[in-house]
A and B are shown apart, each in its own frame.
Chain A
Amino acid sequence: MSRTSARKSITAVAGISALSLFLAACGGDSPTTTTNAGTSTSSATSSTSAPATSGGATSEGGSTEATETGSGGGGDVGAESDWCNTVKGLYPDTDGKTVNLYTVITAPEDTPYIETFKSFTECTGATVNYEGSKEFEAQIGVRVSSGNPPDVAVFPQPGLMRQVQESSGAMLELKPEVAENAKKYFPEDWTNYGTINDQFLGIPNNADFKSLVWYSPKTFEAKGYTVPTNWQELQDLQAKIVAAGEKPWCIGIESGEATGWQLTDWLEEYVLRTAGPDVYDQWISHEVTFQDPQIADALAQMGQVVKNPEMVNAGFGDVSSIASTQFNAPSAKILDGTCTLTRQAANFGSNYDASVKVGEDGDVNAFYFPPISEDFGQTVLGGGTFTAAFADRDEVNALMYYLTTPEYANTRAKAGNYISANRGLDPVNVPVVVQQEALETLQDPEATFRFDASDLMPAAVGADAEWKQFTAWITGQDDATTLANIDNAWPAE
């Protein structure tokens, strides 16, 4: 995937419970509207489709305390003073200091972050100088190389964090107490994503949820389609749409210099579903190459949809139009009914303004992209951002500590469009119901979650060769050449 999809992940995660198989969400609020915590309780009670197992999340080890603080939701004064006292005790010299934070999130999506850091300032007296840039990926390298790194950087991809660290060594290992607190609240998978060469550097920030297919309930109703709950039903639905003389799918991969990343997500979904999570993990570490038959097979199967003139590109043209269609342009085509299905992340809902109702009975909705093989269970593809520090000062460490706490996750979630893998994040504090369900799935030990592979691969592959080769692939290049070219780009050990 890409910087862009990582960025997207910061905004709304209107999600789905993988266990409920399809999104039966109501949350009438468009994810773009910031909803305050007050309304969240009422919308939570209106959630009827939350699976019974969703309670599993809060019964996870280590989260008892978190649940207490989290459910303190409305009156988290006591909770705040808890983390605050800890931080003050650990890092006394913070008053009047400034932490420079560098990130990809720019206005207007930066507002909830800036709001959240206010509670940090109230406690420590240190201010966070928030600096967002869309050129983060290129500029972070320049800044680190020239000896002018920010105090704290939020990395959109672990692969980029690895690249910067391996070439500079400028990032600092988390303080033991920060690392300990992070491990207390985040699942081991997630702390592992933030660990580069045995150094625990990055605190997981937001979490993203990708395995969804967006559609319009109104179109479905008008044309008599039903939401597919398994692979066969999806195939039947596709056939039905084709029989009606329409193309089922619309896809856009245009995303400036990151053009192509959407197809990396597609391939990851297929690899997870056809080869399984174990092969997926070996694929990330290049023990399984792109030319491996298992990956080639996944690409071939995916090609039967995305390179099939009967299947794409509804509302935009022929197969090659995928390359010139902006990645979130399908939002309008789903809404006006010219396109029936588009595979997009949960935050896709934020492309719609407040007048568009997201939900089962709304204008647009999403269902879980079903498993292909029953062998691998309910697999979920996701992503996330990670915060790493370049400076060892009290106010910087204090901020890093704060970022590990459930109080940060809860305060941030209340500000809107945010979920995280933090076990202490109480779904009650997530304003939009569909986001609550995504969070519940993330916190569910039963679901097989896998992190975006291209984000974990070396940047030369996951953030360059893959994008370019898939763009060439969709405009005519054959499978074998495409996979060979990507393998060739893998950096030598």
Chain B
Amino acid sequence: MDWFMSPTSAGEKLLVMVVAILIFVAIVGIILWAIDRPKIPNWVVVVGFLGPVTIALAGGLLYPAVGTVIRSFQKIQNVIGPDGKRILVNGKVTTEKVFGFDNYSRIFTEDGFQRVLLNTVAWVILVPLLATSFGLIYAVLVDRTRFEKAAKALVFLPMAISMVGASIIWKFVYDYRQAGTTQTGLANQLLVWLGLEPVQFLQADPWNTLFLIIVMVWIQAGFAMTVLSAAIKAVPDDIIEAAQLDGATGLKLFMRVTVPSIRPSVVVVLTTIAMGSLKAFDVVRTMTGGNFNTSVVANEFYTQTFRQGDAGQGIGAALAVILFIIIIPVIMYNVRQMRLSEEMR
């Protein structure tokens, strides 16, 4: 069974992959087979359908999340021995956990962190709005045109590029060389062609946050466009036909019929992108490293947790909890939407 746990050759790897899928298909098959019979209690059906997901999410997300909330109220301190020094056991410093609001008060009182929170709010509001509007308009514009496929592929392309690739791509846009020399960044070259001075885009506080947001919008618009395009195509014909019979055309048809019909999808897209931009740290990390007042909560969280040792654990956890709190309004809104659509059904 060596190949099963540690496959080395290409054949073994592919075999493991197929076996993994088969094992999983078998599990789903057994569940379906077991519950698909008349007179079975409803709760068994529910457990069958939701059981695997619940286990996966409870173990993989809920458990770490709860641990994070607890850690956010902990401050790890070194235990000081009677001699006034730290206590070392086998090289490990003995620590104790002190409960309190220290981590939160630090985040809300230190200037650096406040700017981070402000930037994060800007990200969470601007990225979903801009990306979704663009995606929606674009999806409508190219819908059922001759060049739809190609046009969609072009806007979708950034989604297919990894963050490493995206950061290089935008390096060639924002790059700065001093005035009078050849520019290597497109944006600065445009400024020079217009007779202006080149600008250090990524250092221009506070606009630099906006320039980073543009990168994220560029990446996420493809997601919005694809989902919304699928939703537009799924709008039932009769609704469109009925509206047309009523004389609705063009923009009116779009605003009064298409948009309301795909409203749930728009909410989904907005929410998803909002959550994505809240969690995304790659853009900031690769382009400015959080310098020049561009840091966001997710980036600080990464630095604190993975680079600061014990001291950073509590702060990192508190930042993660703040992420959660920032998104609560979005969740509330979605719940309301779900209630509404529930009633409509």
B93 at the interface (CB under 8 A from A): yes
A119 at the interface (CB under 8 A from B): no
Contact residue among A137, A141, A201, A259 (Cβ-Cβ distance under 8 Å from B291) = A259
Complex CA–CA separation, A315 to B179 (angstroms): 10
Interface of B is mostly: mixed
A189 at the interface (CB under 8 A from B): no
Task: Check A196 against B91 for contact (C-beta < 8 Å).
Answer: yes
B307 at the interface (CB under 8 A from A): yes
**A313 CB to nearest chain B CB (Å):** 8
Residues of B within 8 A of A320 (CB): 200, 203
Task: Check A169 against B200 for contact (C-beta < 8 Å).
Answer: no
**A122 CB to nearest chain B CB (Å):** 22
B308 at the interface (CB under 8 A from A): yes
Task: Check A459 against B200 for contact (C-beta < 8 Å).
Answer: no
Question: How many inter-chain residue pairs (CB < 8 Å) link A and B?
Answer: 92
Complex CA–CA separation, A321 to B181 (angstroms): 14
**A463 CB to nearest chain B CB (Å):** 7
Taking CB atoms and an 8 Å cut-off, the chain A residues in 306-324 that contact chain B are 315-318, 320-321, 323-324
Contact residue among B91, B291, B307 (Cβ-Cβ distance under 8 Å from A463) = B307
Residues of B within 8 A of A491 (CB): 311
Task: Check B306 against A138 for contact (C-beta < 8 Å).
Answer: yes
Find the A residue at minimum CB distance from B178.
Answer: A317
Residues of A within 8 A of B177 (CB): 316-317
Complex CA–CA separation, A138 to B285 (angstroms): 13
B222 at the interface (CB under 8 A from A): no
Find the B residue at minimum CB distance from A198.
Answer: B88
Complex CA–CA separation, A463 to B303 (angstroms): 10
**A261 CB to nearest chain B CB (Å):** 11
Taking CB atoms and an 8 Å cut-off, the chain B residues in 252-311 that contact chain A are 285-286, 288-292, 302-303, 306-311
Contact with B along A456-493 (1 / 0, CB 8 A): 00011001100010011001000000000000000111
Task: Check A321 against B178 for contact (C-beta < 8 Å).
Answer: yes
A165 at the interface (CB under 8 A from B): yes
Contact size range, B: 20 to 34
Contact residue among B86, B203, B290 (Cβ-Cβ distance under 8 Å from A324) = B203
**B295 CB to nearest chain A CB (Å):** 9
Complex CA–CA separation, A324 to B91 (angstroms): 40
B217 at the interface (CB under 8 A from A): no
B234 at the interface (CB under 8 A from A): no
Task: Check B89 against A317 for contact (C-beta < 8 Å).
Answer: no
Residues of B within 8 A of A100 (CB): none
Task: Check A464 against B291 for contact (C-beta < 8 Å).
Answer: no
Contact residue among A173, A321, A464 (Cβ-Cβ distance under 8 Å from B308) = A464
Contact residue among B88, B178, B291 (Cβ-Cβ distance under 8 Å from A471) = B291
Task: Check A163 against B309 for contact (C-beta < 8 Å).
Answer: yes
B345 at the interface (CB under 8 A from A): no
Find the A residue at minimum CB distance from B167.
Answer: A256
Task: Check B309 against A256 for contact (C-beta < 8 Å).
Answer: no
**A372 CB to nearest chain B CB (Å):** 30
Task: Check B203 against A169 for contact (C-beta < 8 Å).
Answer: no
Task: Check A167 against B93 for contact (C-beta < 8 Å).
Answer: yes
A142 at the interface (CB under 8 A from B): yes
Complex CA–CA separation, A165 to B90 (angstroms): 9
Complex CA–CA separation, A43 to B53 (angstroms): 67
B78 at the interface (CB under 8 A from A): yes
B131 at the interface (CB under 8 A from A): no
Taking CB atoms and an 8 Å cut-off, the chain A residues in 436-474 that contact chain B are 459-460, 463-464, 468, 471-472
A188 at the interface (CB under 8 A from B): no
A258 at the interface (CB under 8 A from B): yes
Task: Check A324 against B200 for contact (C-beta < 8 Å).
Answer: yes
Task: Check B303 against A475 for contact (C-beta < 8 Å).
Answer: no
Q: Assuming A167-B309, A199-B91, A323-B203, what are 14 further A-B pairs, CB within 8 angstroms?
A: A137-B307, A141-B307, A166-B91, A166-B92, A166-B310, A167-B92, A201-B91, A258-B289, A317-B177, A323-B291, A324-B176, A324-B200, A324-B202, A475-B292
List the 5 closest A-B pairs by CB distance, nearest first. A169-B92, A317-B178, A138-B306, A257-B289, A163-B309
Residues of B within 8 A of A (CB): 77-78, 80, 86, 88-93, 176-179, 181, 200, 202-203, 285-286, 288-292, 302-303, 306-312
